[in-house]
Chains A and B, each alone.
Chain A
Amino acid sequence: MRGDRIFGLVIIVVALGYILSAHGIETSFMSDPVGPRIFPYMIAGVMILCSLVMVLKPDPDADWPSGAVLGQLALALVMLLAYAFLITPLGFILPTILVAGVLSWQISGRPVPAALTGLGLGIGLFVLFRIILGLGLRGLPAGWGF
């Protein structure tokens, strides 16, 4: 119930913003009968219509995670975001060891196998992708070789 309603309301706000943004699209002198704005308006219209259905006729709610599980999910999300930020400055191996290790620990709950998994994946995948498959990855932070 609440999940559908909240999602529907968020989408309505997004769709209104989308319409506003579409309104500001500049048209050049060489345009066609439809122009660059109509199709986005149509999409936003469908979004608002469907969201209204979700708000007015919501399905029964799913089990949303709470407490500790929510914390675990947040940690996983932070790890993935951190990975996106770290891979360019630090190279492939170090962020992979960190993130793979933490994810593994989150699933198994045992730190030692998780640390080994992280190490194994960080080095193993680097060998696989860089050395065997030849992808352009930098292994270590700039200036450390590799």
Chain B
Amino acid sequence: MDILSNLAMGFEIAASPYTLLLAVIGAFVGTIIGALPGLGPSNGVALLIPISFSLGLDAISALVLLTSVYYGAMYGGRISSILLNIPGDEPAMMTTLDGYPMARQGMAAEALVVSGVASFVGSFLATVGLMIFAPYLAGVAYKFGPAEYFALYMLAFCTLGGMGSNNQAKAALAAAIGLAISMIGLDKTTGMPRFTFGQLHLMDGIDFLVAIVGLFAVVEVFFFIESHGSNSAIGVKLGKILIPWKMLKQTSGAMLRGTGIGFIAGVLPGAGASLGSFLAYMGEKSLSSDKASFGKGNPRGVAAPEAGNNAAAGGALVPMLTLGVPGSGTTAVLLALLLTLNITPGPLLFSERPEVVWSLIAALLIANVVLLLMNVPMVKIFVHILSVPAWILLPGVTMVAFVGIYSLTGSGFDMLMMVGFGVLGYVMKKLDMPTVPVILGILLGNAMEDNLRRAMVLSNGDWKILFSSPISIGLWIAAVLGFIAPLVLRRFLKKPPLPQTDPMANED
């Protein structure tokens, strides 16, 4: 077995006491980040990239630390969903539907255990899926030339814009803004400066980490101040944590089905964890014989979306690692991490640096086990941390964001730019424009232009090369469909009503 020997190599690198310690720290910090309302996997990882980089961690240690944070945040999101009826992050939204009713019926501990185990099942199996499918997809990706890559980038933007937003024009505009920003700096081919306006600061372009921290973390400052950060008190008592074996057995089918749906949703570009948990919940509900109990505290309504969102988080790593194209905000942040570590994802990563891929996979498996241990018996610790008031938390997070960027670049100019991105993000969110395409544009812009220009060099300036191979034609068709199909589907697929954000409003 090729996979097993590779995996053994991965564990050899990743399973040292030092990296295990990093995995524990990452999982702990990640769970807290996930549990805190307003902070999710993407801004959590975004905050910590500059810091782990300034700490001078080597590539594999940084990967272990930050993927543990990523998975930890996916686990942690459920805690505030269940106890506060506030999703800790967007993918955990569906967990509120049955998790909070369960908590109000005095089954908070059961809901936390079931969702914790569901998270483990989802992400563990998705990591196994990643091991099986990623090398296969990497084999296909060898056939990609510049024209195919250009079409692939179009596909990523189109599906992300199509699925992830309510208004196609706004999503496309967000992507274009990101691409426009990525053009700033020296043109690689000719060595000429573009859009620098004679500013030396702009010669190297705009650092994507500055944009990410600005758009994902600084934005939260403005939203918190606007809403006065009202919600922090826990209204539900948490009893002794016992493992409800019967309930786990009863929900095991829901977990497995949720995992399958979530993994597929994660692999598809643009879909991501939120769609994974949504589809897993809706699928479980439509299969069930007692549909009426969903939304009133059915444990299967907790297990399915939690398995789904964690499986999607694992599935989303497949296109990110093999093609270098992230499908969601969080994987975009992880791509930023890899690029910061000087690792270029793509098919070559699997053949040239297998130790990176397989130690990452080993790290994910380790992180999962650590997270299961932390999130089931020790969940009470996180519940206590949730009661930290917003007026300490938010200034703290803001300062961490600034320190990260400052220690990375040492320049006040970058910090001003970060605040600027925060303001841009605030305006965009107010206008219901997604900010993830901006990040994707900044991350992929140069590679996209580069591939376009290389394709044109190959064809001597004939634009038909973009549509000349079956793979690229297929990608273009998928891109157009991914952009247009949601317009049609939106009429059929109505999202269920959002949970109320104010826990007090639920005291009936």
Contact = CB atoms under 8 A, between A and B. Distances in A.
A36 B194 contact: yes
B293 interface: no
B54 interface: yes
B173 interface: yes
B377 to A, nearest CB: 27
Contacts of B170: 50, 54
A51 B173 contact: yes
A25 B192 contact: yes
Contact of B177 (A28, A34, A47, A73): A47
B391 A104 contact: yes
B187 A7 contact: no
Secondary structure of the B side of the interface? Answer: helix
B183 A73 contact: no
B194 A103 contact: no
Contacts of A15: 180
Contacts of B406: 87, 137
A106 B187 contact: no
A113 to B, nearest CB: 7
A32 B396 contact: no
A74 B403 CA distance: 22
A30 B229 CA distance: 56
A97 B254 CA distance: 49
B407 A33 contact: no
Contacts of B398: 80, 99-100, 103
A133 B57 CA distance: 11
Contacts of B140: none
Contact of B395 (A3, A77, A85, A103): A103
Secondary structure of the A side of the interface? Answer: helix
Among B172, B192, B403, the one with the most A-chain Cβ atoms within 10 Å of its Cβ is B403
Contacts of A7: 427, 431
Contact of A136 (B396, B407, B422): B407
B3 interface: no
B200 interface: no
A59 B399 CA distance: 35
Nearest to B169: A53
B232 to A, nearest CB: 10
Interface stretch (B92-100, B240-248, B449-457, B484-492): B449-457
A89 to B, nearest CB: 9
Interface in A103-146: 103-108, 110, 113-114, 117-118, 120-121, 125, 129, 133-137
B413 to A, nearest CB: 8
Interface in B42-70: 51, 54-55
A79 to B, nearest CB: 9
Contacts of A121: 392, 395-396, 399
Nearest to B415: A84
Interface in A22-63: 22, 25-28, 30-36, 39-40, 43-44, 46-47, 49-51, 53-54, 57, 59, 62
Interface of B: 51, 54-55, 166-167, 169-170, 172-173, 175-177, 179-180, 183, 187, 189-195, 197, 218, 221-222, 224-226, 228-229, 389-392, 394-396, 398-400, 402-403, 406-407, 410, 412, 415-416, 418-419, 422-423, 427, 430-432, 448-449, 452-453, 456-457, 460-461
Across the A-B interface, the 5 shortest Cβ-Cβ residue pairs: A33-B461, A84-B415, A50-B173, A108-B391, A53-B169
Given A47-B173, A117-B392, 9 more contacts: A7-B431, A11-B177, A54-B169, A62-B432, A84-B402, A99-B399, A106-B225, A108-B390, A135-B51
Interface of A: 3-4, 7, 11, 15, 18, 21-22, 25-28, 30-36, 39-40, 43-44, 46-47, 49-51, 53-54, 57, 59, 62, 64-65, 69, 72-73, 76-77, 80-81, 83-85, 87-88, 92, 96, 99-101, 103-108, 110, 113-114, 117-118, 120-121, 125, 129, 133-137
